[in-house]
Structure 1
Amino acid sequence: MVRAHMEMVKALLDGSRSIVALTGAGVSAGSGIPTFRGPDGLWKKQRPEDLARVDAFSQHPELVWEFYNWRREKVGQCTPNPAHMALAGMDKQVPNFLLITQNVDGLHTQAGSHRLMEMHGSLWRVQCSVCTYAREDRSSLPDMPVCPVCGHLLRPGVVWFGEPLVPGVLKVAIEAISSADIFLSIGTSNLVQPAASFYQLAKDHGAVTIEINSEPTPNTGLMDFALHGKAEDILPELVLGMSD
């Protein structure tokens, strides 16, 4: 990481009144949550990508729920790290701010972020696979939880691979990015659409684009600034330099 770039990003953030931050799994890695694509991204020799699908749930709902109950148990033992806390601090300091996360672990909410959009849903939300019933639920769930309204099987309240985003989510994201001074891409590999193309939307509307990630991504060379290292190390220093 080039120190001069760090100082320039600090100055830009300090003078900005409109910031959109996009976060991915790398932000939560410092809390002990493994990434799908990391070396710890296997569960019982199953690829999480193969379980996070509608067809997997249709064919093997007991296996999918075993996986998600295991995830809920593990994530429930984790706490926000300094990266989450720094973004919650940015939320308080920047007049126009939106945090868009691809994560489903709920740690941004725990850290105190309020202007937050969970693009892919939440592990702590369950919804009926048939009717419109849904609820937030952090309790221990049965192996195969059922809807109290219609009796059909509940499913995790997350967006699975191949599913569309919740209606309205993309519209809100596009509007916020289109009017931002700065776009931050933090802890994401920039491989999953539509989030992978948000940086281009930001650039097209004149925003400064900044990548913060443990390693280069496909978008690194296209960003105005790229700070490579752990988000939990970089973000607190950036926020510390911002004026209240």
Structure 2
Amino acid sequence: NFYNKLRRSLLDKKPNGAHLAVSKLQREWPSFSGGSVTLVTQNIDDLHEKAGSSDVIHMHGALLCARCECCGASWRQERDTFPKMPCPKCGKIGGVRPDIVFFEEMPHDMELIEKALAKCDLFLAVGTSGVVYPAAGFCRFAKSVGATCLEFNLKKSAVASDFDAGFYGKASETLPKFVDGLLSGKGLEI
């Protein structure tokens, strides 16, 4: 089916320069600044993990995971799923599905995301249209607690005016330059 084909296609995908830059920021920012980096993604792939990032919050789920609708268990699932597949935890049949958020379902880990936003001092939005809520409102939330908010996108998003600055072009080019500059003490510039 569609999700099995999509899952198989992810297995060979490689992270780009933006994924690698985020991983570098997550690794090096704590010793540079004493702060931490919370990584929230709307993407359902595992490219951040392949780039070396840890503790990734997949608010729209992860296609390489499956979930049981009967007991709520979630697990890594690289192989195909099928309608009569039993849940490895509860054993019930017929409730296994991709662990992704479908339309009109609540995104994962919203409480955790809101806690991170509440203590945020620098917010980066990378490669987003700015039209999918609740993520489209994260910048305003971060600004309300005093965070500097930066947008990295091919072009201005629908919520570009909410940001303090925007860096436009391929994120695989702009984000690595920004992260290198930030970690070398040059500040919030490219």
TM bin (shorter chain)? 0.7 to 0.9
Work out which of the residue numbers 44, 61, 85 in structure 2 matches 1:146: 85
Runs of at least 5 residues in structure 1 that lack an aligned partner in the other structure = 1-65
Query: Does the CA-based 8 Å contact 1:97-1:115 persist in structure 2?
Result: no
**Aligned in 2, Cα 1:174/1:142: closer, same or farther, shift over 3 Å?**
closer
Supply the distance in 2 between the matched residues of 1:133 and 1:177 (Cα, whole angstroms). 27
Aligned AA for 2:86? C
Deviations 1:139-185 (A, max 9, x none): 3x15545124112241101111101123xx11221121121221101
Query: Does the CA-based 8 Å contact 1:91-1:115 persist in structure 2?
Result: no
Runs of at least 5 residues in structure 2 that lack an aligned partner in the other structure = 31-35, 186-190
Aligned AA for 1:150? K
* TM-score, with structure 1 as normaliser: 0.68
* TM-score, with structure 2 as normaliser: 0.86
Aligned AA for 2:13? C
**Aligned in 2, Cα 1:172/1:133: closer, same or farther, shift over 3 Å?**
closer
Supply the distance in 2 between the matched residues of 1:153 and 1:181 (Cα, whole angstroms). 41
1:200 corresponds to: 140
| Partner SS state of residue 124, structure 1 | strand
Supply the distance in 2 between the matched residues of 1:151 and 1:172 (Cα, whole angstroms). 31
Q: What do you get for the CA RMSD once the two structures are aligned?
A: 1.6
Supply the distance in 1 between the matched residues of 2:72 and 2:38 (Cα, whole angstroms). 28
1:214-233 alignment runs, 5 A limit:
214-233=154-173
Q: 2:53 matched to 1:113? A: yes
Q: Shift of residue 130 of structure 1?
A: 2.7
Query: Does the CA-based 8 Å contact 1:177-1:201 persist in structure 2?
Result: yes
Work out which of the residue numbers 70, 76, 79 in structure 1 matches 2:11: 76
| Partner SS state of residue 97, structure 2 | strand
Number of positions where the alignment pairs a residue of Structure 1 with one of Structure 2: 176
Aligned AA for 1:70? K
Flag the structure with more relative contact order, 1 or 2, with Cα contacts below 8 A and sequence separation at least 6: 1
Q: 2:28 matched to 1:93? A: yes
The structure in which a higher percent of residues are helix is 1
Supply the distance in 1 between the matched residues of 2:93 and 2:5 (Cα, whole angstroms). 23
**Aligned in 2, Cα 1:134/1:147: closer, same or farther, shift over 3 Å?**
farther
